Amino acid sequence: MSKTTIKTLYEMKQQGEKITVLTAYDYSFAKLIDAQKIDMILVGDSLGMVIQGHSSTLPVQMDDIVYHTKTVTRACQNSLVIADLPFMSYTSIENANCNAARLMQEGEAEMVKLEGGSEQITIVAQLTQQGVPVCAHLGLQPQSVHKLGGYRVQGREKAQAEQMREDALKLQDAGASALVLECIPTELAATISQSLEIPTIGIGAGRDCDGQVLVLYDMLGISQHAPKFSHNFLQSAGSIQAAIADFSNAVKTQQFPSEQHSFF
C-alpha cells in the first residue's frame, strides 16, 4: 500500500471500497495505526476529553492540536493525517487561514477539519483556494454541544434533514474534499453519501457512509463513557495491533457498524 492521498479516497469511493479512519494523538499509537495501514488518522479535538480530561472539546487550544499533530505525523508513512481546527479557531477568513497554515506547516497535517454547514461555505472556499484540503463535518457537532443541548442525534426532523442535505452539497461545491457525518439516522447518511462525489466518513451514521471513524480510546475500551456507536475491538482481539486490524477488517467487509451501533 502506498501513502493515502485525497486522490486515493476519491478512487476508493468510486470503487466502493470502505475507508478506515482512527484518531491518534501521539507518536506511539500513530505508529501502530499506520503499521496496520489504516487509511486516515484524525488528530481530533476529542483529545480534550480522552487526553486532557475535559467534559467537552471546547477547552482545546490551537497549540494543543499543533503539538499533537506534530507527534502523529512523524509516525505516518501510510495514513493520511487530518487535524481538527478547534473551537473558535476559524471564525474569520484571517484566523482560519492562519490556523490552517499552522496545522500544515508546523504540524505537517495533510488536511484540516472544521465543523458547520452553510455558515462555513466562505471559509471552506477560501481555504481550498489557498491549497488547503478541507474535511467538513455535519450532524452532531461537538464544538456546538451547548447550542445543541447536549450530545444528541441530529437530522431526525424533516427540515433539519433537508438542511443537512443542502449543506453537504454546498460544502462539496465550496471545495471540501471529504465530509464527516456524526450521529445522524442511517437513511439520511445514505442519501447524503449517494448524492456526493466526495467521500463521507461516518461516526454513528450507519454502514452506508463511504468510510468509518472511531476515537481510538473508544475502540480500545479505555474511554470512561464509550458512545453507543462505538465497539470495543480490544476485548476479543488480545492486543492493540490486532484490535486495529480487526477494526479495519470489520469496516472493509461492512460488518461494522451494525444496527446496534446506528441510529434510525
Q: How many helices (H) and strands (E) does the chain have?
A: 12, 8
Query: Coil, strand or helix: which one is 56?
Result: coil
Rg (alpha carbons) of the chain, rounded to whole number: 17
162 catalytic per annotation: no
HEC-encoded secondary structure of 151-181: CCCCCCCHHHHHHHHHHHHHHHHHCCCEEEE
- For 7, residues 6+ apart whose C-beta sits below 8 A from its C-beta are none
Fill in the amino acid letter for 159: A
Give the number of residues written for the chain. Answer: 264
The catalytically annotated residue of 106, 182, 187, 197 is 182
Phi/psi of residue 217, nearest 5 degrees = -65, -30
Phi/psi of residue 88, nearest 5 degrees = 65, 20
Q: What is the DSSP letter of 116?
A: B
Distance CA 8, CA 83 (A): 18
Cell numbers for 158, please give them.
424533516
Active site residues: 182
